[in-house]
Amino acid sequence: MADDTNLHASARVALINPASMLDRLCDHFVDHGTVTREADNARVEGIFGAVQLKVAANALDITVASPTKSYLFVVKSSVAEHLVEFADGETIALDWQGDAVGETHIPYFREVVVRGARDITPAMRRVTVACDDPGHFTSGGLHVRVLIPPRGREPVWPSVGPDSRVIWPEGDDALAKRTYTIRSIDHARGELDIDVVLHDDSPGSIWARQAKPGDRVGLLGPGGGDVIPADWYLLCGDETALPAIARIAETLPSSTRASIVIEVADASEQQEIASKAMIEVTWLHREGAPAGSTDLLPQAVRSIALPDQGSPFVFAGCEQAAARAIRKHLRAEKQLPKDRHLVAAYWRRGHADVHDHGE
C-alpha cells in the first residue's frame, strides 16, 4: 500500500457510450477544478487530488490519486455519484482497486457529544461539543457539516457503499444537514465551539436552541478551503461568516494588515474581533432591513482599494447574490487571481443550507 502522501485507486466502468460519459464528467468538473482534455483522455486536478479518465472499448478507465485517505474518499465518492447521475438509467458497476478499498466508514466523519450551549449575541448561539480527535479539524478548511439526528431517536450515521458512494439514512432516521464554521478548537479540553446564527425555525436553529449536554451529533469535514498566507487581507461577510472571520483574524501574524467588514442586523450583534495583526474593523448595520435584502456588503467591498504591491488575499462569506457580486468585482474589475480570494455563498435568501465555495 502506498503511503499517505501518494494514494491511488482505479476502476474500469462498462458503459454503452463511454465517450459521452467522459464529455459529461468534464463538463461538470470544469467548475470544480482544472480539466485538461485530449481526444479520448482527460485529467481533472483539484484541491483533493487528480482524476485520469480514458475511454476504452465499451468502458471508461478511471484512476484517482490523492494525498490522504480522506481526500481519496472525497474524489472516489464524487466520481461515483456523478457516474450514476449521468448514466441515464444505465446500470453502473464500479469496483475500485488500490488503496483504501472496502472501507465502510467515512474517513472524515466524527461523532461528537454536546457539552453545553450559550448565547453570544441575541442572534448567535455557541454550541460546545466534546471530540475525541480535535486535531482532525485543525486543517483542511474552516467548516463542518453538522448531521442532526431526529430528536428522541438513536442516531443512524451515514455509511459507505461498495462503490464509495455515501449511503444516507432515510425515513424516520433521516438526518438534518447544516454547514457551520468551527469557531475555535480547544485541544487540551477536547472541545470544539460551533457558532450558529439563529433565524426562523430551521433545523439548525432549533438544534442550537435546544442543544443540551449529552446530545449526539455527527460532523463531516473539515472543508471549504483554507486561507492562504498574505501580507494584506480583506475579510468580509454577514453574520453567517462572522465566526469564520473572527477565527481567521485570530490566526493572522503581527506582520500582516487586515481590513474587516461585517454586516449584521444592528449594534447588538457586534462581537469583539481579536488579532495580532493590524486590523481595521467596519460594522455595517441593516437597521431593520431583512438579511440578504441590501447591497451594503458589495458596496463596501467596492469602496476598498486593494494594495498595489504585495500579496493580498480576500475572504468573503455571505448571501448568494452578494457573494456573486463580490466575486465578479474581484475577478472582473480587480483582476484578482482565483488563488488570491475565497468567496463563499453561505446561504441563499428563501432557500435552506446553500453553501457554495465558488463558481
CATH code of the domain covering residue 199: 2.40.30.10
Question: Domain containing 245: what range?
Answer: 232-347
Question: Which among 42, 52, 58 is positioned nearest to 93, based on CA atoms?
Answer: 58
Long-range contacts, stretch 117-123, CB < 8 angstroms, 24+ apart:
117/208, 117/211, 117/212, 120/195, 120/271, 121/268, 121/269, 121/270, 121/271, 122/268, 122/269, 123/197, 123/198, 123/199, 123/239, 123/265, 123/269
Q: Residues 254, 342: one domain? A: yes
Of the residues 200, 223, 246, the one at which a domain ends = 223
Tens-place pLDDT, residues 218-229: 999 998 878 999
- Whichever domain contains 91, its CATH number is 3.30.310.50
| pLDDT at position 1 over 50 | no
Q: Residues 213, 291: one domain? A: no
Q: Residues 188, 268: one domain? A: no
Instruction: Tell me how far apart the terminal alpha carbons of the chain are, to the nearest angstrom.
Output: 36
- The shares of helix, strand and coil residues in the chain, as percent rounded to the nearest 5, are 25, 35, 40
Q: Residues 37, 77: one domain? A: yes
Write down the pLDDT at residue 356.
Answer: 44
Question: Which among 303, 262, 301, 317 is positioned nearest to 285, based on CA atoms?
Answer: 262
Q: What percent of the chain has a predicted confidence (pLDDT) above 90? A: 87
Which cell numbers hold the place of 344?
463563499
Tens-place pLDDT, residues 255-294: 999 999 999 999 999 999 999 999 999 999 999 999 999 9
Half-sphere exposure of 150 (CA within 13 A, CB side): 10
Write down the pLDDT at residue 127.
Answer: 98
pLDDT band of residue 353 (cuts 50, 70, 90) is: low
| pLDDT at position 357 over 50 | no
DSSP 124-187: EEEEEEE-S-GGGGSSSBSEEEEEEPPTTS-----EE-TTS-EE---GGGPPEEEEEEEEEEET
Residue 355 lies in a domain: no
pTM, two decimal places: 0.90
